[in-house]
Amino acid sequence: MKSRLLNRIGLLFLAFVVVSPAILFFLWMLSLSLKFEIDNGAYPPIFIPERFAWSNYAQVFRENNFLLYLWNSILVTGTATALALLIGVPAGYGIARLKAEKAAVVVMIARMTPGLSYLIPLYLLFQWVGLVGTIWPQIIIHLVVTVPIVVWVMIGYFETTPIELEEAASIDGASAWQVFSMVALPIARPGIVVALILAVIFSWNNFVFGVVLASRETRTLPVAVYNMLSYEQVSWGPLAAAALVVTLPVLVLTMLAQRQIVAGLTAGAVKGG
């Protein structure tokens, strides 16, 4: 009994060792974001400063138009995810029911293609159509990230949901659409939540599309935080504060929806971009 307890404590210790790079990194990020320049430039480094520089956060929002970029990020991620669910959930359903494994290959290819190879032709297309300067190019190209994730997760999910209920409903005279919307869809809600969360995270994090397609007014947060580097003399406090603001929504979501994320990633092992 006693050795068992020791075992558990030993394991807990090992787990802490394994997790420590993540914990220490995020704590250091927080520390950087709350220090004045003089503390951030100190050697040896200061972990907990005597005075907290909350002003770093205020400065990020005041000087860098961060509210606009936050709104852009919400708009791009929100629309791209909503559109992806709208077309991806039925597609996942159809592919799962058709047992069309070739369609899954298309998703795999989309997964393997580097984001840049979409970017070059679509960038030219957006220029010709005259969409450059609006938010639409980014929303459209984010579909490259969100649609495969949603389709992939939903194929996996619909393959596990029973078909008997659907058969019963269609024998009772329900149309294909009714079967889908009234029988299949309600059962699939947990799968949709997984797809939604993963699509939101990978769209939110996307950087490469924005760095090419965004103008000054249509930047998303990852692009905005990167641009802080190049457009002013680098001061670490506000930069770290901005980095934390950008990634905080995702981190909170990860903690809240840990179980769904783990389920989705291990089932489909998807990643956008």
Within 187-246, which residues bind other proteins (CB under 8 A)? 201, 204-205, 207-208, 211-212, 221-223, 225-226, 229, 236, 239-240, 242-244, 246
From 51-59, 130-138, 185-193, 262-270, span contacting other proteins (CB under 8 A) = 262-270
CB of 116 to other proteins, least distance (A): 5
CA pair distance 85, 138, nearest whole angstrom = 17
Residues 24-53 that bind other proteins (CB under 8 A): 25-26, 28-29, 32, 40-41, 43-45
Contact 103, 95 (CB under 8 A): yes
Beta carbon nearer to other proteins, 68 or 174: 174
Cβ-based neighbour number of residue 67 at 10 Å: 10
Position among 1, 2, 3, 22 found at the interface with other proteins (CB under 8 A): 22
CA pair distance 231, 261, nearest whole angstrom = 36
CA pair distance 269, 152, nearest whole angstrom = 9
Beta carbon nearer to other proteins, 50 or 112: 112
CA pair distance 215, 136, nearest whole angstrom = 12
CB of 149 to other proteins, least distance (A): 12
Instruction: Return the amino acid letter for 236.
Output: W
Position among 65, 75, 78, 90 found at the interface with other proteins (CB under 8 A): 90
Hey, what are 106's tokens?
């298309």
Position among 91, 195, 196, 199 found at the interface with other proteins (CB under 8 A): 91
Residues 108-167 that bind other proteins (CB under 8 A): 109-125, 140-141, 143-144, 147, 151, 156, 159-160, 163, 167
Hey, what are 84's tokens?
């992806």
Contact 211, 141 (CB under 8 A): no
